[in-house]
Structure 1
């Protein structure tokens, strides 16, 4: 498999993840919490790196490492989300104000902290498949993307 094809497959997988997220939001009516939005941003960034890598078709180690690091960052956000969902009910943080209000009235640093740390609404499990919630599936997807990106960028290229 060529680097370009591998990067294109990575991009298409990210696009599929974002399409599923849009389906959950706009068809199923599941409103994303701050951590869900952060995970979507990370999927978008990983997908953009894969797209640029496929178009540029050079520097596989650079693009593979960048996509891998971003995917691991997304995995960390997903892991925090899964952790929040598995907290005992009395340890769940309080729900914060809506994101629209936060973006309008809070400084950027506080808004970013909220987006990356989550609130009580992030602990709610709205959907499961095979016993795993959406953030758990997203965590697995990020780990797969990180592995794919690093393998793609650092494998021995055929002469």
Structure 2
């Protein structure tokens, strides 16, 4: 019987979560908020770690994969708390505008045209869970899969 490659499975699952997020963003027109973007980065790290661990199977990469997945899960828990009013959300804007080269009128036009995506609103949910909540649950499952990979590497 062939043994499950937990690291590759976890990395593939992170890739599927990222693809789902991009589908919601580009196919369904649901622009991500700042916290949504933050939740994506650890999945990208986990995908890279999955590729590296395939080439260089070392236990430390499995630990890093678990940490990446858990980080996305932690951000997802925080985002869920912001959505439910348990925590205050970030106040910083995630845009990058070169203020030095814009006139006041151009700056106002850019600000007025920019879409507002709030972190404290739930644009879509399934089974009573927001996308942030689902990401948190699935990310913690992925962290467990990375720990299975660690156990496999020992």
When normalised by structure 2's length, the TM-score is 0.78
Unaligned stretches of 5+ residues in structure 2:
100-116
- Cα distance in 2, alignment partners of residues 129 and 154 from structure 1: 33
Aligned positions of 1:60-139 closer than 5 A? 61-87=59-85, 93=89, 96-97=92-93, 99-101=94-96, 104=98, 121-139=118-136
Q: How many residues align?
A: 137
- Residue 78 of structure 1: how far off its partner (Å): 0.8
Q: CA RMSD in A?
A: 2.5
Q: Per the alignment, do residues 66 and 125 of structure 1 end up closer, same or farther by CA in structure 2, a change over 3 Å counting? A: same
Cα deviation digits, residues 21-43 of structure 1 (max 9, x gap): 11000011110111110111111
16-25 or 42-51: bigger deviation: 42-51
- Residue 156 of structure 1: how far off its partner (Å): 7.3
When normalised by structure 1's length, the TM-score is 0.75
- Cα distance in 1, alignment partners of residues 31 and 129 from structure 2: 18
Q: Per the alignment, do residues 94 and 142 of structure 1 end up closer, same or farther by CA in structure 2, a change over 3 Å counting? A: closer
Cα deviation digits, residues 95-149 of structure 1 (max 9, x gap): 654x2237x56xxxxxxxxxxxxxx811110000011000000001110111000
- Cα distance in 1, alignment partners of residues 143 and 43 from structure 2: 11
Q: Which has the higher helix share?
A: 1
Cα deviation digits, residues 4-35 of structure 1 (max 9, x gap): x3222122111111110110000111101111
Kindly name which structure, 1 or 2, has the bigger radius of gyration based on alpha carbons.
Answer: 2
- Cα distance in 2, alignment partners of residues 145 and 44 from structure 1: 13
Q: Per the alignment, do residues 94 and 66 of structure 1 end up closer, same or farther by CA in structure 2, a change over 3 Å counting? A: closer
Tell me what 1:44 maps to.
44
**SS in structure 2 opposite 1:126?**
coil
Q: Per the alignment, do residues 156 and 51 of structure 1 end up closer, same or farther by CA in structure 2, a change over 3 Å counting? A: closer
- Cα distance in 1, alignment partners of residues 153 and 96 from structure 2: 50
